[in-house]
Amino acid sequence: MSELPKGWSHTTLNEVGSWGSGGTPKRTNKDYYDGKIPWLVIGDLNDGLVSQSKNTITELGVQNSSAKLIDEGTLLIAMYGSIGKLGITGFKCATNQAIANCTVNEELVNKKYLFYYLKSRQEHLLSMGKGGAQQNISQTVLKAYYCPIAPQNEQNRIAEKLDSILVKVDAAQARLDKIPNILKRFRQSVLAAATSGELTKDWILSIDQYYCEVDKDITKDKKLSKLSKVTEQELKLTTSLFGKVNWSRWKTYPLEQLVGSSRGIPYGIVQTGEAKSVGIPTIRCGDVKPLKILMTALKKVSAEIESKYIRTRLNGGEVLLAIRGTVGHAAVATQELVDLKANISREVAMIPVRDNVDSKYIAMLLQSPGGYRCLAEKVRGVAQKGINLADVKRFVTPLPSLEEQKEIVRRVESIFTMADTVEKQYLDVKARTNRLTQSILAKAFRGELVAQDENDEPAEKLLSKIQNELKNKPKNATRRTTNAKSVVKNMKLEDAPVGYLKNLMPKDESEIQAKQLWQDSKMTIDDFYAQLKKELINIEEINESLDPEARTLKVSKE
């Protein structure tokens, strides 16, 4: 750590309070859950005052597990997964074993000062995690963690200053967090106006000739001419799903009549096989986002497999629609994808509209709120949701003239460009605001946030006074036994009766932390593990956590 400010000292977290952790009552016992005692898990921690819990346990659950009741105002810190996530209890409660709790010695350290210090060290604590899928730190590591101690009056000033500043930062962040949803709703409202006729209601142009050309193309094509027109029932359902629309000057067609019959509306490669380092980039449903294709993670398929799907190779300008998973996302194939000779998978439908139809307009129509509702109406499946090609083909398409389609696209893109500018500004401000919190915290614990006072008692004197008081206290004055069992004092290994540890454990086969059993045994740590080894026939370890303080035991079934 860097040099401390004048009058500051340092210690470890172990010295600033009394530490412990919780436990989990046996899951299979319904009598332990849904009681009146709030039981916190890491998901309940919010880096602030914890005022609610998703789960509750009963008094019986507390009595028969290593869960312990902790008081309102207790400092909490996550040791698993989201290491360093914080909370201060707003009520009396219990926690699981993934949360460490600290009853702060407020004669030495201001609780909010300590809370803010730990908040400033969250990234560092997270980097100290060990383990596999779920990284963790132990209480041993946590207790040994460095803690700077400012003079007590300065601690109070720091805590008060941080309270006043960070509440404003948090308020700014809360307002910023609303912007993405505002922008999303704005874009949706623009698409709704564009595809309902509202955005171009001032458009005045004769369109009879355009529809004659479209109808002529359909009539000349044997396959297209055999397709049925939009039925009254289909139109009624579509207009109800689009909501308020003004299609009086537009004509409607089934989507399948607006594509070239030689390609139709197909999906792509059925079995893409294993990803290749060299191969044909293939677009899957996850690559199709609203009005854009993500290029960062395109799967490469072997040329041999892809060669059987020439029909769906991209020529540019095709509308691509996700028909599996996230059904309804639509975008237009770009020249960049054509240059890559890309193809599509069976999760994506290709809509190769004719030259007298604007593909961007069709993508916007599909992506609009009304278009999305029409597609969602046809979604089938539970585990793997999807929409059939037959339903895509019968999608009712309100079609303005080609000139109006292009004008709709131009106006939408112009408005979206402004929205994109706002979004970029939001992201920049959000990043700066996120850095601001850590910058303010770092400044506080460098002694630069508040003025120092030469009259403040140096922290070193305060530490010495507290340590002397602890030395003069009776050794067992504050000792407690969680399970209230009657055990002998300072049990030695040679004096321990047969089944000594088993008799200290819960009688209903519920779990107990190894640490708690050791404390209840009143043995030295070496004698405890020697005795445990003797009794392994009756006691089993059920938690293989890397954290020795999180290991749990239970009585073996006979």
- The percentage of the chain sitting over the pLDDT mark of 70, rounded to a whole number, equals 92
Average pLDDT, stretch 179-192? 96
Tokens of 300: 């490469």
Prediction pTM value: 0.71
Mean pLDDT of the 353-375 span: 96
* Average confidence (pLDDT) over 162-183: 94
Mean pLDDT of 311-317: 95
Segment 430-470, tens digit of pLDDT = 999 989 999 999 999 999 999 999 999 999 998 888 878 76
**What is the C-alpha separation between 374 and 363, in angstroms, rounded?**
14
Give the Å distances, CA to CA, from 222 to 255, 266, 298, 354.
Answer: 16, 18, 37, 16
| 543 — pLDDT class (breaks 50, 70, 90) | low
pLDDT class of 2 with cuts at 50, 70, 90? low
pLDDT at 74: 97
Listed in sequence order, the residues at least 6 apart from 366 whose beta carbon sits closer than 8 Å to its beta carbon are 319, 321, 328, 330, 372, 375, 395
What does the mean pLDDT of the chain come to?
89
Band (365; pLDDT cuts 50, 70, 90):
very high
CA distance linking residue 122 with residue 145, whole number of Å? 12
Paired tokens of 162:
């941080």
Q: Structure tokens of 216? A: 């002529």
| pLDDT given for residue 226 in this prediction | 94
Judged against a pLDDT cut of 50, whether residue 488 lies above it is answered with no
In order of 73, 262, 263, 264, 478, the CA distances from 351 in angstroms are 61, 12, 9, 7, 75
pLDDT of 302 reads 95
Mean pLDDT confidence for 84-103: 96
Q: Please give the pLDDT value at position 515.
A: 74
The pLDDT of 201-230, averaged and rounded, is: 90
496, 531 Cβ separation under 8 angstroms: yes
Distance (Å, rounded) from C-alpha 53 to C-alpha 73?
Answer: 15
Structure tokens at 147: 């803690």
Rounded Cα–Cα distance for residues 277 and 221 (Å): 42
The pLDDT of residue 482 = 37
Of the pLDDT bands very low, low, confident and very high (cuts 50, 70, 90), residue 556 is low
> Is residue 465 within 8 Å of 518, Cβ to Cβ?
no
Is the pLDDT at 352 greater than 80, yes or no?
Answer: yes
Three-class DSSP category at 255:
helix
SS (H, E, C) 368-434: CHHHHHHHHCCCECCCCCECCHHHHHCCEEEECCHHHHHHHHHHHHHHHHHHHHHHHHHHHHHHHHH
- Identify the band that residue 287 occupies on the pLDDT scale cut at 50, 70 and 90: very high
CA 455 to chain CA centroid, Å, is 47
For the record, the structure tokens of 421 come out as 């500018």
Tokens matching residue 143: 């207790």
Report how far residue 261's alpha carbon sits from residue 427's, in angstroms, rounded to the nearest whole number: 45
Those residues with Cβ within 8 angstroms of residue 552's Cβ, 6 or more apart along the chain or in another chain: 23, 66, 97, 511, 512, 513, 514, 541, 542, 543
Mean pLDDT of 523-533: 79
The 8-class DSSP code of residue 450 comes to S
pLDDT digits (tens, 9 = 90+) for 245-274: 989 889 999 999 999 889 999 999 999 999
pLDDT at res. 316: 95
pLDDT digits (tens, 9 = 90+) for 135-154: 899 999 999 999 999 999 99
Which string of DSSP letters, residue by residue, matches 68-126?
A: --B-TT-EEEE-BSSTT-EEEESSSBEE-TTEEEEEE-TTTS-HHHHHHHHHHTHHHHH
Residue 526: per-residue pLDDT: 73
Distance between CA atoms of residues 520 and 502, nearest Å: 11
What is the bridge-based pairing of β-strands 33-40 and 75-78? unpaired
> Which tens digit of pLDDT belongs to each residue from 34-71?
999 999 999 999 999 999 999 999 999 999 888 999 99
